[in-house]
């Protein structure tokens, strides 16, 4: 599945032992994927390979993180891996939807790759339909986290200190029997499947998600990536003078491919 790039690094560039794997779920508003774009673009991460898979709709384009003419000509496809050894970070970006019936095989192959590449833990960025929030969830922060039991032991305390809110379980049979609770992440794509598989297979996985709706999801992506930053400290947060809070929004670099997200310029003949 994973095909390394042929660079001078050789096998060193695909050695992810002890690294944190950061990846998105293709979910409502594509918030996870937008957040990953911000991470790759800001940290100037190097592409180290891609996934050769039949599970995602094929797509190709030129470098979405190009900053100049010289680096704009590298081809980019639907599932690519970037790395930043100095932060022991490896990032997977997924750029197209799953082909019908293929999301389960993808999850299985992905988790076996995580195991074979010896990543220490996985952080999954995702989102969930805001319209499915219950009354309590409508108040307060729209950001939630989930930890597999193995990661709970390691960082559970930190989540308490950060005052983060764990994703609530909902009644399996609402109105009939409120005692049996299940995890429900509507619009989250493969989030629930990956999380439950990781729990049962003993992986250290964290899910960070935001309640949102389809629309202009750039602010949602910033909120999610700032949330991630509270924990992983990927970029320095600067104290904002105006409201005296730490906010790393200005530290994130928007990639050049985010241009024209809502269509072309208007035809002059319209006026």
Partner 1 sequence: MATFFGEVVVAPSRAGVDDDEEAREETPEDREIRRELEKKREIEILWTLKSGASTESSADEPFACSQFIVAIGRNAAAFLSSFILDSVCWEVVGVVKLWNEWCRTSSTTNVLPTDSFCLFYRLISDPTVLLCQCSCYVAEDQQFQWLEKVFGCMQKEGLQVTVLSTCPVADYKTQESTLTLPSPFLKALKTKEFKEQVCCPLLEQPNIVRDLPAA
Name which of 42 and 217 has its Cβ closer to partner 1.
217
Which of 92, 77, 10, 12 has its CA nearest to residue 45? Answer: 92
Distance CA 49, CA 92 (A): 9
Backbone angles phi, psi at 174, to 5 degrees: -60, 135
Name which of 155 and 183 has its Cβ closer to partner 1.
183
Closest contact distance (angstroms) between CB of 131 and partner 1 is: 4
Binding marks (x or -) toward partner 1, 218..257, rule CB under 8 A? --------------------------------------xx
Name which of 31 and 119 has its Cβ closer to partner 1.
31
Closest contact distance (angstroms) between CB of 208 and partner 1 is: 16
Closest contact distance (angstroms) between CB of 204 and partner 1 is: 23
Distance CA 19, CA 134 (A): 36
210 belongs to the binding site for partner 1 (CB under 8 A)? no
Closest contact distance (angstroms) between CB of 259 and partner 1 is: 6
Own/partner pairs, 97-103, CB within 8 angstroms, 24+ separation: 97/26, 97/56, 97/57, 98/26, 98/55, 98/56, 98/57, 98/189, 98/190, 99/54, 99/55, 99/56, 99/57, 102/54, 102/55, 102/56, 103/55, 103/189, 103/190, 103/193
Name which of 214 and 216 has its Cβ closer to partner 1.
214
Closest contact distance (angstroms) between CB of 157 and partner 1 is: 32
Distance CA 24, CA 33 (A): 5
54 belongs to the binding site for partner 1 (CB under 8 A)? yes
Distance CA 85, CA 6 (A): 17
190 belongs to the binding site for partner 1 (CB under 8 A)? yes
Distance CA 116, CA 21 (A): 13
Name which of 17 and 259 has its Cβ closer to partner 1.
259
Name which of 69 and 161 has its Cβ closer to partner 1.
69
Structure tokens at 67: 């900053």
Distance CA 210, CA 128 (A): 6
23 belongs to the binding site for partner 1 (CB under 8 A)? no
Site residues, partner 1 (CB under 8 A): 25-30, 54, 57-64, 66, 72-75, 77-78, 96-103, 129, 131, 186-190, 192-193, 213-214, 256-261, 263-269
């Amino acid at each position: 599945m994973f095909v390394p790039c042929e660079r001078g690094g050789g096998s060193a560039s695909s050695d992810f032992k002890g690294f944190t794997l950061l990846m998105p779920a293709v979910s409502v508003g594509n918030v996870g994927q937008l957040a990953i774009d911000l991470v790759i673009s800001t940290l100037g991460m190097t592409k180290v390979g891609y996934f050769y898979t039949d599970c995602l709709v094929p797509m190709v384009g030129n470098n979405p993180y190009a900053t100049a003419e010289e680096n704009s000509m590298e081809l980019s496809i639907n599932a690519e891996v970037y790395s930043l050894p100095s932060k022991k970070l490896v990032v997977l970006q997924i750029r197209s939807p799953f082909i019908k019936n293929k999301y389960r095989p993808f999850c299985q192959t992905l988790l076996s790759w995580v195991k074979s590449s010896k990543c220490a833990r996985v952080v999954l960025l995702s989102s969930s339909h805001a319209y499915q929030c219950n009354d309590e969830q409508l108040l307060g922060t729209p950001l939630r986290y989930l930890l597999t039991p193995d990661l709970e032991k390691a960082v559970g305390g930190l989540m308490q200190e950060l005052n983060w809110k764990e994703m609530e379980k909902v009644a399996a049979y609402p109105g009939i029997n409120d005692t049996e609770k299940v995890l429900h992440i509507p619009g989250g794509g493969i989030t629930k499947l990956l999380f439950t598989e990781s729990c049962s297979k003993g992986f250290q996985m964290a899910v960070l998600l935001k309640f949102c709706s389809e629309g202009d999801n750039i602010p949602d992506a910033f909120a999610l990536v700032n949330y991630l930053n509270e924990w992983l400290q990927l970029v320095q947060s600067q104290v904002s003078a105006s409201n005296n809070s730490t906010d790393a929004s200005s530290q994130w670099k928007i990639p050049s491919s985010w241009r024209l997200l809502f269509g072309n310029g208007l035809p002059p003949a319209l006026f």
